[in-house]
Amino acid sequence: MTDHFVKLKCENCGSGFDVYDDMDRFACGYCGTEMAVQRRGGTIMLQPVTDNSSRKPTAVHLKEEAETLSKRCEAMLSDRAEQKKRGFIIGASLLLVGFVVVRTGFSFIGGLAILLAGIFTISYVRRHDKTVMQNVRELQNKLDVLNGRIQDHV
């Protein structure tokens, strides 16, 4: 599961969307324009698909898109849980080691540095978690739009 993406706008309707590393073709969730993703030399270009038979996404295409977004969302949530657990374990361990170093008198300054590292680690984990949850909410909103469009096709 990749979480690297580029934010672009649809050339047809101007709505914003994310183009992930593993995407090579998709349909705009708002206007239905199907686009092919072309990558060359570190740049990304969108090329509207000119095949008139696939211009408007069918319910099957929309369901595939919704399934892909759903899997991406599930992967982000499972990665989030694992990273959060690992980060809090590391942060708590640093806090404990720092506390022991300060209390035993080995090095007051070194112990404080380790305590600060633990605090910064936990702070970073919390900020990263908020960012991931914001991305998950965006994916959920896109899924809601796609599911609404699927209902329109049915």
The domains of the chain are located at 1-57, 58-154
User: What tokens appear for 116 in the block?
Assistant: 């600060």
With b meaning 16 or more CB within 10 Å and e meaning fewer, what string describes 114-125?
A: bbebbeebbeeb
Residue 13 contacts by C-beta under 8 Å, 6 or more apart in sequence?
A: 28, 30, 31, 33
User: What tokens appear for 107 in the block?
Assistant: 């090095």
- Please tell me the predicted confidence (pLDDT) of residue 84: 95
108-153 helix and 59-104 helix, angle to the nearest 10 degrees: 170
- Strand arrangement, sheet containing 43-48: 25-27, 34-40, 43-48
- Please tell me the predicted confidence (pLDDT) of residue 1: 44
- The 10s digit of each residue's pLDDT in 92-110 is 999 999 999 999 988 999 9
Q: Give the residue ranges of the chain where pLDDT is below 70.
A: 1-4, 50-57, 153-154
Q: Which backbone phi and psi does 19 adopt, to 5 degrees?
A: -105, 110
- Please tell me the predicted confidence (pLDDT) of residue 149: 78
